Chain A
Amino acid sequence: MTTTAAVRPDESGSLTTSELAAVRADFPLLERTVRGGRPLVYLDSAATSQKPQVVLDTEVDFYEERNAAVHRGAHQLAEEATEAFEQARAAVAAFVGADEGEIVWQPGATAAINVVAYAFSNATLGRGGEAAAPFRLAPGDEIVVTEAEHHANLVPWQELCARTGAVLRWIPVGDDGRLDLTDLGTIVTERTKVLAFGHVSNVTGAIAPVETLVAAARRVGALTVLDACQSVPNLPVSFHELGVDFAAFSGHKMLGPTGVGALYGRRELLEAMPPTLTGGSMVEVVTMESTTYAPPPQRFEAGTQMVAQAVGMGCAAQYLGELGMEGVLRHEQELAAEMLKIADIPGVRVIGPLDTADRLAVVSFVVDGVHAHDVGQVLDDKGIAVRVGHHCAQPLHRRFGVAATARASASVYTTVEEVAAFREALAGVRAFFGAE
């Protein structure tokens, strides 16, 4: 697997103009026009990122040269496919500061979080034996999330509570869009078994205080589950350094293909955890009466895997790694500062932190007198793609008294000029609708 990304952040930190131009040249889709020949300004990377040519080529190359079932078969193709699959796992593991055996392929981050939630269910039903005791829940046990969560890191825990009698509690969000930790000590208690939270909010862009939250969970013996979907593509992440127990992230938001994501789990926890999906490829010995299961990560990879997509995700991790995540983060922060200038436009209100500290270039906002959908439509007419709606975070929107927001978000290929075009178009929205 090779990548063409040879650019490096300059000494001042962020990407230089020529480096950014080289990055953009790697993304074929960015060349297209929209809505009658306008250049595309893609500010929806928090929903899904565009893909560099090398990722597309790697996926095609797998199908053209190596396609075979992995972990079975004695033929050469099977060997090569397995090698590509496992090398991709190693690349992803290295990229997120984990050991190879701690990365489980999943169809996406949502699936990854559900695997953990259902492991708690199954352990509570007695599956997994004594080893699975850390995953057992009893009525009165509590699961803690935050008010800022994406539905993918909220609904699976609500469902787990409904199945087990555990109680869901949450850390509130303050007016500034950051987690309000004032009552952390009374929310995370001896009753807490799981603390699940997002690393970076997909609405406010705020980076969560992971160290504080992990310390609070450890103090009471609770397991931590990190939704790392927005952080892994945009800042240096090491799960070992963060000290979380589990983490979930998707391939398609980090320049990789759709249909693939990963679950990180600390090795001893994955070894103790009962499986969720069962079937082929995840077993040791199967009789008509019962089955013993393979060690992780295979235990959690039932059925034929999304091999070409996993190989593509490995390539994306390598591409970002070669680009250098420190530089990517500085680029993000520079773009966040440019985006936050929209707060100066009359009638525009940003939902989330207005300062650039501990936040990424994900900026949600409302326009006084104009619904988010209408805002998005006028921007779209200028070729500017933003997300509108509740961004799968209805409780957070309710917290701020809005049903929907528009959201601009950046990735490695986003430029300051694009953000300026966005601001200019946004400044004209209220006039278009005759809002006073």
Chain B
Amino acid sequence: MSTLEQMYQQVILDHAKHPVGRGLVDAPADEGHLAGESHQVNPTCGDEVTLRVDVTPEGAVAGVSWEGQGCSISQASVSVMTSLVQGVPLSEVERLDGLFHDLMSSRGKGLDDDDAEDALGDATAFTGVSQYPARIKCALLGWAALKDSLARSGALATS
């Protein structure tokens, strides 16, 4: 597989074509839920994402919805992340965020940790992206939006 094919894995192309969670949903007014929204842009290439998160009273992700435009890497990454964090406790979301950042710093080598890669699931498909320094920020855009929307929801302070 060429390095280009390593970057554009089929799972990434599929998510870019059929994104999960795309289309902003109003946060349900369920009792005890917290909601947050974040808008992130990558000014060098114009990638953009607006993301909403809904957090249960127990401190788990109840739902993520988003709207965005940009390259296949940025859009697929938000999509994969949306699937990955559904129903996940915030402490685990924080761990996944850390692992994904580690993966993006791996220069194509991956995490060399089966448990970590299992936890990241489809998100490990972005390993190839980490060989292209200019594209790493594309893959991280959605994760930045999730982190910021969680902070804005106030859920991080209470969890």
Q: What residues make up the interface of A, taking CB atoms closer than 8 Å to B?
A: 35-36, 370-374, 377-378, 381, 388-390, 394, 397, 403-404, 432-434
Q: Distance (Å) between the CB of B41 and the closest chain A CB?
A: 10
Interface stretch of the complex, out of B69-77, B98-106, B111-119, B143-151: B69-77
Contacts of B44 in A (CB 8 A): 389
- Closest Cβ of chain A: how far from B16's Cβ, in Å? 8
CA distance in complex: A370, B71 (Å): 8
Contacting pair B71 A371 (CB below 8 A): yes
Within 8 Å CB of B107, what residues of A? none
Least CB separation from A432: chain B residue: B8
In the assembled complex, B45 has its CB within 8 A of some CB on chain A: yes
CB atoms of A390 and B46 under 8 A apart? yes
- The CA-CA distance from A411 to B159 in the complex, in Å, is 58
Write the nearest CB–CB distance from B51 to chain A, whole angstroms. 18
Q: How far is the CA of A121 from the CA of B69 in the complex (A)?
A: 39
Question: Most chain-B Cβ atoms within 10 A of its Cβ — which of A371, A403, A434?
Answer: A371
Rounded to whole angstroms, the CA-CA distance of A370 and B48 in the bound complex is: 16
Could you tell me the distance between the alpha carbons of A318 and B97 in the complex, rounded to whole angstroms? 54
Please pick, from A373, A377, A388, A389, the residue contacting B4 in the complex, using a CB distance under 8 A.
A377
Decide if B69 touches A377 in the complex (CB within 8 Å).
Answer: no
Q: What residue in chain B is nearest A402 (Cβ atoms)?
A: B46
- Pick the contact of B71 from A36, A373, A394, A397 — CB < 8 Å? A373
CA distance A127 to B70 in the complex (A): 47
Complex Cα distance A433/B9, Å? 11
Is the CB–CB distance between A404 and B4 below 8 Å? no
B2 at the interface (CB under 8 A from A): yes
Assuming the contacts A373-B135, A377-B4, A381-B4, asked whether A433 and B45 have C-beta atoms less than 8 A apart, the reply is: no
Q: Are B132 and A377 in contact (CB under 8 A)?
A: yes
Contact: A404 with B46, CB < 8 Å? yes
Q: 1/0 contact trace for B70-99 toward A, CB 8 Å?
A: 111100000000000000000000000000
A-B contact pairs, 13 of them (CB 8 A): A36-B3, A372-B71, A373-B47, A373-B70, A374-B71, A374-B73, A377-B135, A378-B4, A389-B44, A403-B46, A403-B69, A403-B70, A433-B72
Q: Find the B residue at minimum CB distance from A390.
A: B46
B39 to chain A, nearest CB (A): 14
Top 6 A-B pairs ranked by shortest CB distance? Answer: A373-B71, A403-B46, A371-B71, A381-B4, A404-B46, A389-B45
Contact check, A434 vs B2: say whether CB atoms are below 8 A apart: no
Q: Which residues of B contact A404 (CB under 8 A)?
A: 45-46
Total of A-B residue pairs, C-beta within 8 Å: 48
- The distance in angstroms between the C-alpha atoms of A397 and B48, with both chains bound, is 15
Asked if B138 lies at the interface with its beta carbon under 8 angstroms from chain A, I say yes
- Which residues of the other chain, A, contact B73 by a CB distance below 8 angstroms? 373-374
Contacts of B109 in A (CB 8 A): none
Which residues in chain B, 48-73, are within 8 Å of chain A measured between CB atoms?
48, 69-73
**A377 pairs with B7, CB closer than 8 A:** yes
Give bound CA distance, A388 to B2, whole Å: 22
Residue B156 at the chain A interface, CB threshold 8 Å: no
Chain B residues near A377 (CB, 8 Å)? Answer: 4, 7-8, 132, 135
The answer to whether A434 and B13 have CB atoms under 8 Å apart is yes
Check A374 against B72 for contact (C-beta < 8 Å).
yes
B132's closest neighbor in chain A, by CB? A377
Supposing A403-B69, A434-B13 touch, asked if A373 and B45 sit within 8 A by C-beta, the answer is yes
Q: How near does chain B come to A39, taking the closest CB pair, in angstroms?
A: 17
Q: How far is the CA of A35 from the CA of B2 in the complex (A)?
A: 10
Contact B48 A381 (CB under 8 A): no
Measured CB to CB, the nearest residue on chain A to B2 is A381
CA distance A35 to B5 in the complex (A): 13
CB A387 to nearest CB in B, in angstroms, measures 11
By a CB distance below 8 angstroms, the chain A residues around B7 are 377
Contact indicator B48/A403 (Cβ below 8 Å): yes
Assuming the contacts A388-B45, A389-B44, A389-B46, asked whether A371 and B72 have C-beta atoms less than 8 A apart, the reply is yes
Q: Nearest B residue to A405 by beta-carbon distance?
A: B46
Whether A371 and B4, one on each chain, are in contact in the complex, defined by CB atoms closer than 8 angstroms, is: no
> Among the listed B3, B17, B70, which residue makes an inter-chain contact with A371, where contact means beta carbons less than 8 Å apart?
B70
Chain A residue with minimal CB distance to B10?
Answer: A434
**Considering only CB atoms, which chain B residue lies closest to A434 in the complex?**
B13
Which residue in chain B gives the minimum CB-CB distance to A382?
A: B4
Known: A403-B48, A433-B8, A433-B13. 6 other contacts (CB 8 A): A370-B72, A373-B45, A373-B47, A374-B72, A377-B132, A434-B13
Determine whether the beta carbon of B138 is less than 8 Å from that of A373: yes
Instruction: Report the nearest A residue to B138, measured CB to CB.
Output: A373
Question: Which B residue's beta carbon lies closest to that of A371?
Answer: B71
Most chain A beta-carbon neighbours within 10 Å: one of B48, B69, B71: B71
Q: Tell me the nearest residue of chain B to A394, going by C-beta.
A: B46
